């Protein structure tokens, strides 16, 4: 597969042109990558009006993902999520309907900033059986009952979630389509799912719109992402998707990231499915082996190992610290879980290093403490958007009871909300804040708004 953006930039860098254009480094190395860092000069195309090399590269990506259209972002899934939600709201407006989105609660915080920007208030699907705010399984019966009421225009899921759980997207998509409802999927963690055999990518399971962070699970530079339109997305969206991205994007997209997306196309086309198939097999046998040694694992995503180490005698944070002492840096940990992200790009000795590090951690007395229940969400007192324009103050958790949360969300990293702006904090949610190590939060001043 060709790489038109990389080719253009390589040729330009060889021409030794006098760069009387941005960026200010003029190609002179400071970090070392400046020579290849361009702006939208003649021939370099323009991300949001692409009709040259960027368009050609995006068409390559469209073929690879088998989508109706795949567009690039150099500003992450965060950017694509805003664009997806804009398109979903615009679709409702075009049909003369009120935009009503039903979202599984474990959204990334960008969903909340989009709610503020686009002025919508989501209806939440609360986690039911989960023990972590990072996951939210979908009860199909409840979902169907909810869709039967006829007012929902879009359903929004995060799959895979941060802990490596995947939703049954095929069933959810079938249900959404039966009721004429759009399915939007935050697939930030699952770009590689397209290259499993068979594909388990959200688009192939029926999602109408989805976004992938190319940088999370494919070998792209940080910030590289795709906005995909599926075959079932309304046809008008193909025309509007660029416009949707440009609404929220910088006018100076990074050409380093664009080249990275372009180069990833060739990487994916060049036997990645085969590489992935054999890597996933190795990962599965590794997971079985460490499970047999007493390390409890959760999740069903092939490139994540999510340890639940309390049964082994450690909190997730303690376990991550033990690994870190041995030079192994995890993606994420919290009181309950330690998340490791795998990739065929890791060095061949990664398995050995990880196994040796796990073996060096002694088993201890199991920890039985569980997180407070999350199944009852705090009540919404004020729309997200309105809350952001109110005066706020920082108070201790003891002072926060019955107050209205003023910050966009309260989360421990990653950016998944325990509570969202405009919710009235109660004892149950404050117990969750405390469990995850929060000691204070921002609330509306008494006289707000
Ligand atoms: C589930 C989820 N969605 C979206 C995002 C945002 O992705 P990006 O960092 O590519 O903007 C993240 C980032 O961690 C995420 O975990």
Whether residue 311 is found in the same domain as residue 390: no
Q: Are strands 419-420 and 409-410 parallel, antiparallel or unpaired?
A: antiparallel
Domain membership of residue 370 (yes or no) is no
CA dist., res. 282 & res. 298, Å (int): 17
10, part of any domain: no
Residues lower than pLDDT 50 in the chain: none
C-alpha 108 – ligand 1 centre gap (Å): 6
The verdict on the CB of residue 67 being under 6 Å from ligand 1 is no
* pLDDT, tens digit (0-9, with 9 covering 90-100), for 262-296: 999 999 999 999 999 999 999 999 999 999 988 99
CA 188 to ligand 1 centroid distance, Å: 5
> 433: domain CATH number?
3.90.105.10
Residue at 414 is within a domain: yes
Q: Are residues 209 and 115 in the same domain?
A: yes
DSSP per-residue codes, 227-274 = EEE-TTS-THHHHHHHHHHHHHS-SS--HHHHHHHHHHHHHHHTTHHH
Shared domain check, 308 and 191: no
| Pocket lining: 295 vs ligand 1, CB cutoff 6 Å | no
Same domain, yes or no: 344 and 408: no
Residue 150 tokens, joined: 């006829």
C-alpha angle with apex 17: 13 to 18, nearest 5 degrees? 130
Q: Is the CB of 213 under 6 A from ligand 1?
A: yes
CA 336 to centroid of ligand 1, rounded, Å: 21
Tell the residue number behind the tokens 């990334």, with chain if given.
Answer: 108
Q: Is the CB of 265 under 6 A from ligand 1?
A: no
Number of domains in the chain: 3
Nearest CA to 228 out of 197, 267, 259, 194 is that of 194
**Which residue among 318, 344, 359 closes a domain?**
359
Decide: 188 in ligand 1 pocket, CB within 6 A: yes
Q: Give the Cα separation of 229 and 74 in Å (integer).
A: 17
Please give the distance, rounded to the nearest whole angstrom, from the Cα atom of residue 416 to the centre of ligand 1. Answer: 10
Same domain, 307 and 345: yes
Instruction: Give the pLDDT of residue 397.
Output: 95
The conformational region for residue 422 under phi > 0 = left, psi -120 to 50 = alpha, else beta, is left
CA of 28 to the centre of ligand 1 (A): 32
Quick check: CB of 222 below 6 Å from ligand 1? no
What is residue 127's predicted lDDT score, i.e. its pLDDT? 87
Residue 201 · residue 190 · CB < 8 Å: yes
Which residue lies with its CA nearest to atom 9 of ligand 1?
76
Best residue among 191, 216, 334 to mutate for probing ligand 1, ranked by most atoms within 8 Å of CB: 216
User: Containing domain of residue 321, as a range?
Assistant: 274-359
Query: What is the position in ligand 1's atom list of the atom closest to the CA of 213?
Result: 10
Do 241 and 147 lie in one domain? The reply is: yes
Identify the bridge partners of residue 396 per DSSP, sorted by sequence position.
440
Rounded CA separation 115/111 (Å) = 6
Calpha distance 26→116 (Å, rounded): 38
Distance of alpha carbon 289 from alpha carbon 87, whole angstroms: 45
Q: What is the pLDDT of residue 448?
A: 59
CB atoms within 10 A of CB 96: 6
Tell me if 41 is assigned to some domain. Answer: no
In the structure encoding, which two tokens stand for residue 348, read together? 């061949």
- Verify that 216 and 165 share a domain, yes or no: yes
The Cβ-side half-sphere exposure at 18, using a 13 Å CA radius, reads 1
What is the best residue among 73, 189, 409 to mutate for testing ligand 1's pocket, by most ligand atoms within 8 Å of CB? 189
On whether both 278 and 222 belong to a single domain, the answer is: no
Residues 223 and 301 in one domain: no
Closest of 377, 373, 386 to residue 410, by C-alpha: 377
Domain membership of residue 426 (yes or no) is yes
- Kindly state whether residues 425 and 353 are assigned to the same domain: no
Ligand 1 pocket, residue 162 CB under 6 Å: yes
For residue 158, report the distance from its CA to the centre of ligand 1, in Å: 10
Instruction: Tell which atom from ligand 1 comes closest to the C-alpha of 161.
Output: 1
Q: Measure 156 CA to ligand 1 centroid, in angstroms.
A: 14
Residue in the block written with tokens 């416009």: 243
Report yes or no on 436 lying in a domain.
yes
Question: What is the C-alpha to C-alpha distance for residues 131 and 368, in angstroms, rounded to an integer?
Answer: 13
pLDDT at 447: 54
186 close to ligand 1 (CB < 6 Angstrom): yes
| Residue 412 pLDDT | 72
* 157 lies in some domain: yes
Which of 72, 76, 106, 215 most suits a substitution to test ligand 1, by most atoms within 8 Å of the C-beta? Answer: 76
Minimum-distance ligand 1 atom for the alpha carbon of 79: 11
- 55 to 7, 58, 162, 183, 316: CA distances (angstroms): 14, 5, 32, 26, 44
Q: Does residue 134 belong to any structural domain of this protein?
A: yes
- Cα of 208 to ligand 1 centre, how many Å? 19
**Distance in Å, CA 427 to ligand 1 centroid:** 29
194: domain CATH number?
A: 3.40.640.10
Tell me what pLDDT residue 43 has: 97
Residues 47-77 have pLDDT tens digits of 999 999 999 999 999 999 999 999 999 999 9
Choice from 75, 82, 110 to test ligand 1 binding pocket (greatest atom count within 8 A of CB): 110
**Are residues 171 and 117 located together in one domain of the fold?**
yes
Closest CA to 158 of 107, 111, 121: 107
Task: Report the C-alpha gap between 279 and 271 in whole angstroms.
Answer: 12
Q: What is the CATH number of the domain that holds 303?
A: 3.90.1150.150
Q: Confirm or reject: Cβ of 225 under 6 Å from ligand 1.
A: yes
Judge contact between 197 and 273, C-beta under 8 A.
yes
Atom from ligand 1 closest to the CA of residue 158: 1
Of 342, 359, 376, the last residue of a domain is 359
Q: Say whether both 205 and 346 belong to one domain.
A: no
Ligand 1 in reach of 158 Cβ (< 6 A): yes
CA–CA distances in Å: residue 279 to residues 196, 336, 449: 11, 27, 54
- Tell which one of 133, 190, 213 to mutate to probe ligand 1, the residue whose CB is within 8 A of the most ligand atoms: 213
């Amino acid at each position: 597969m060709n790489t038109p953006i990389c080719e253009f930039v390589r040729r330009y860098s060889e021409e030794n042109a006098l760069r009387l254009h941005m960026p200010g480094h003029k190609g002179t190395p400071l970090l070392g990558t400046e020579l290849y860092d361009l702006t939208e000069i003649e021939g370099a195309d323009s991300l949001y009006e692409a009709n040259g090399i960027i368009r050609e590269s995006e068409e390559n990506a469209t073929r690879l993902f088998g989508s109706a259209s795949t567009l690039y972002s150099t500003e992450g899934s965060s950017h694509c999520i805003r664009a997806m939600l804009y398109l979903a709201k615009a679709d409702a407006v075009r049909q003369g309907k009120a935009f009503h989105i039903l979202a599984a609660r474990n959204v990334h915080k960008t969903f909340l900033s989009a709610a503020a920007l686009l002025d919508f208030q989501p209806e939440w699907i609360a986690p039911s059986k989960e023990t972590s705010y990072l996951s939210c399984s979908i009860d199909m019966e409840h979902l169907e009952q909810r869709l039967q009421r006829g007012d929902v225009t879009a359903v929004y899921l995060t799959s895979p979630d941060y802990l490596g759980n995947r939703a049954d997207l095929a069933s959810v998509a079938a249900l959404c389509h039966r009721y004429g409802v759009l399915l939007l999927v935050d697939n930030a963690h699952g770009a590689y799912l397209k290259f499993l055999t068979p594909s388990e990518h959200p688009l192939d399971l029926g999602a109408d719109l989805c976004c992938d962070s190319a940088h999370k699970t494919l070998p792209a530079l940080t910030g590289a992402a795709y906005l995909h339109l599926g075959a079932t997305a309304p046809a008008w969206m193909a025309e509007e998707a660029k416009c949707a991205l440009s609404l929220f994007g910088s006018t100076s997209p990074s050409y380093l990231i664009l080249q990275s997306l372009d180069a990833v196309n060739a990487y994916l086309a060049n036997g990645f499915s085969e590489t992935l198939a054999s890597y996933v097999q190795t990962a599965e046998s590794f997971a079985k082996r460490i499970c047999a040694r007493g390390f409890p694992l959760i999740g069903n995503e092939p490139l994540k190992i999510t340890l639940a180490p309390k049964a082994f005698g450690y909190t997730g944070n303690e376990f991550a610290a033990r690994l870190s002492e041995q030079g192994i840096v995890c993606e994420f940990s919290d009181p309950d879980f330690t998340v490791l992200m795998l990739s065929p790009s890791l060095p061949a000795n990664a398995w050995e290093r990880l196994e040796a590090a796990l073996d060096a951690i002694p088993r201890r007395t199991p920890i039985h403490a569980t997180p407070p229940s999350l199944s009852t969400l705090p009540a919404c007192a004020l729309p997200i958007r309105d809350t952001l324009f109110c005066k706020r103050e920082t108070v201790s958790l003891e002072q926060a009871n019955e107050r209205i949360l003023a910050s966009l969300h309260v989360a421990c990293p990653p950016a998944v909300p325990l509570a969202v702006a405009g919710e009235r904090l109660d004892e149950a949610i404050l117990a969750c804040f405390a469990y995850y190590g929060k000691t204070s939060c921002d609330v509306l001043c008494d006289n707000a708004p």
